[in-house]
Amino acid sequence: MNSHKVISIRNLTPSTYVIRMEKKDFTFKTGQYITLGFSGSIDRREYSIYSAEQDDYLEVLIKEVEDGLLSKKLKKCKPGDVLDVDGAFGHFSLKEDEIKNKKFMFISTGTGISPIHSFIHTHPEMDYTLLHGIRHKNEAYESESYDPNRYILCTSGENTGDFNGRVTEYLLKNPVSPDTICYLCGNCHMIYEAYDILEKQGIKLGPIHTEVYF
């Protein structure tokens, strides 16, 4: 476990924020996660890495949970505070031999966009389409950082996105080409439903990668 100083906190909505920390000699593979907590405390939570591999800082995207003690405390961090980082962990990652010659579909809900953000900003040359499912447009976390021709915002709570409805409804109306590599990250209900839809559209088990957010 290593100690990292907080550089800044970026509030994206009243309940969602990005913590930027010094990177030091920390290394990871895009798509992986860390465990994070205050130095000296046993309270730890897992967060996907939001920043790119080549960034000279380390970032995580966090949503404050009503009964989540750590997410509330982390929101009050100030520059110079010290956090303990352990990891990186996980196998939700891209295959190097597919990055430049395959077509990708990234499907996420809420803060499940975090590892997708890392994928895209680590490898901006990828041929990808990104579906982000949220209720309200203000939850489109830093959507301006994606290529607008590749980013599709699906809003289910209001008609303010590129598509009014859930990401699964979008998939039903816009079938995915069977040669696409699909990555799903978000709540379990979306993942189960989207997985079934994609399989019925001809995408086999191998090209579908999932990461469940609770």
Element (H, E) at 182: strand 180-186
> What is the per-residue pLDDT for 41?
81
Domain boundaries, the chain: 2-89, 96-213
Give per-residue pLDDT as tens, 40-78.
Answer: 888 899 999 999 999 999 999 999 987 778 999 999 999
Q: For residue 153, which of 143, 71, 145 has the smallest C-alpha distance?
A: 143
For 84, residues 6+ apart whose C-beta sits below 8 A from its C-beta are 1, 2, 3, 4, 36, 37, 38, 39, 41, 44
Confidence of residue 207 (pLDDT cuts 50, 70, 90): low
> What is the per-residue pLDDT for 108?
95
> What is the per-residue pLDDT for 213?
56
118: helix, strand or coil: helix
Give per-residue pLDDT as tens, 110-148.
Answer: 999 999 999 999 999 999 999 999 999 999 999 999 999
pLDDT at 171 over 70: yes
Element (H, E) at 181: strand 180-186
In whole angstroms, give the CA distance from residue 184 to residue 201. Answer: 15
> What is the per-residue pLDDT for 211?
60
Per DSSP, what are the bridge partners of residue 107? 131, 184
pLDDT at 169 over 90: yes
Between 206 and 34, whose confidence is greater? 34
In whole angstroms, give the CA distance from residue 63 to residue 112. Answer: 10
Fold for the domain defined by 2-89: Elongation Factor Tu (Ef-tu); domain 3 (2.40.30)
69 contacts 76 by C-beta, under 8 angstroms: no
> What is the per-residue pLDDT for 66?
79
CATH of 96-213, one of 3.40.640.10, 3.40.50.300, 3.30.70.260, 3.40.50.80: 3.40.50.80
In whole angstroms, give the CA distance from residue 134 to residue 140. Answer: 7
CA distances from 141 to 21, 22, 106, 173, 191 (A): 19, 22, 15, 25, 20
pLDDT at 214 over 50: no
In whole angstroms, give the CA distance from residue 124 to residue 169. Answer: 27
The answer to whether the 2-89 and 96-213 domains have the same CATH topology is: no
> What is the per-residue pLDDT for 157?
87
| Whether pTM exceeds 0.85 | yes
